[in-house]
Amino acid sequence: MLNKNSLGIEFKNAPTLYKIFSHFYKDRFDTDYKSPTFIGRETKALKEAIQTFGFYPLIGAFYGGIKQGRKDVHIMYILGGINSYLPTCQRPELYASVLLYGDSRIRHLWRTVIHLETKWFPTASDKQKLAKAIDTLEKWNDTN
């Protein structure tokens, strides 16, 4: 779990995404990320991806790509197959906050939201649970 100020999320730019990718990589593989290519090439690709897909969906894509990938995964590899890594959730900003700052309770609550949103025939009580869970997550996100 991170502190919101430790990554500088107030700046939604390529260097911040690079730091986030490096953080996810270090968490998964217990080693620092070293770019296999020229870092300027990755930065340019990140800038273009932010313009195309948005900042927060890319955080989810990086998390998914690193989680599914091997130790030799890198930014250009994930951006090359970005459509298979982009999250399909309806709230990518909230998902990014859960990934970066959420503890086990918040992550469990997020999985509950995903489960209830993808339920084919939700009951009225399911809709109430979903609204309550989303409200709780949004309040948590605002206070962190």
Residue 48 lies in a domain: yes
Q: What total of structural domains would you count in the chain? A: 2
Question: First-to-last CA distance in the chain?
Answer: 12
Residue 46 lies in a domain: yes
Angle at 63 between CA 28 and CA 111, to 5 degrees: 105
Structural domain including 128 reads: 102-143
Residues 8 and 70 in one domain: yes
Residue 96 lies in a domain: no
Q: What is the dihedral angle through the alpha carbons of 13, 18, 20, 23, rounded to the nearest 10 degrees?
A: -160
Residues 19 and 49 in one domain: yes
Residue 38 lies in a domain: yes
Last residue of a domain, one of 85, 115, 132: 85
Q: What does the pLDDT profile of the chain (144 residues) look like in tens digits? A: 555 555 556 678 899 999 999 999 999 999 999 988 888 899 999 999 999 999 999 999 999 999 998 888 999 999 999 999 999 888 899 999 999 999 999 999 999 999 999 999 999 999 999 999 999 999 998 887
Whole-prediction pTM: 0.86
Residues 13 and 81 in one domain: yes
Residues 50 and 118 in one domain: no
DSSP-based three-state secondary structure for 73:
coil
Residues 37 and 79 in one domain: yes
